[in-house]
Amino acid sequence: MLKSENIFLRPFILSDAEELLLMQNKNRSFFSNYSMTRSANYWSLEAQQELIVKREQNKQADIEYYFGIYKDNPHKLIGTISLFQIMRGDLQSAFIGYFLDHEHNGNGFATQSVKLIVNYAFNTLHLHRIEAGVQPHNIGSIRVLEKAGFHKEGIAIKNVKINGIWEDHQVLAIINPNE
Q: Is there a contact between 85 and 127 (Cβ–Cβ < 8 Å)?
A: no
**Cα dihedral sign, 77-15-45-98:** positive
Number of compact structural domains in the chain? 1
Q: Which domain holds residue 143?
A: 2-175
pLDDT of residue 37: 67
Dihedral angle, C-alpha 55, 104, 38, 56, nearest 10 °: 0
Residues in CB range of 152: below 8 A, 6 or more apart: 142, 146, 170, 171, 172
Task: Report CA-CA distances (Å) from 35 to 58, 89, 98, 131, 149.
Answer: 20, 29, 10, 16, 23
Work out the pLDDT band at 76, boundaries 50, 70, 90.
very high
Which contacts of 119-124 are long-range, i.e. CB under 8 A and separated by 24 or more positions? 119/2, 120/2, 120/65, 121/83, 121/94, 121/176, 122/176, 122/177, 122/178, 123/178
Report the percentage of the chain scoring pLDDT > 90: 78
Mapped onto helix, strand or coil, the DSSP state of residue 173 is strand
Asked if the model's pLDDT at residue 1 lies above 90, the reply is no
Phi first, then psi, for residue 31 (nearest 5°) are -65, -30
pTM for this one?
Answer: 0.92
- CATH number of residue 139's parent domain: 3.40.630.30
Q: Per residue in 116-140, pLDDT tens?
A: 999 999 999 999 999 999 999 999 9
pLDDT of residue 34: 65
- Min mean pLDDT across 45-49, 74-78, 123-127, 170-174 is at 74-78
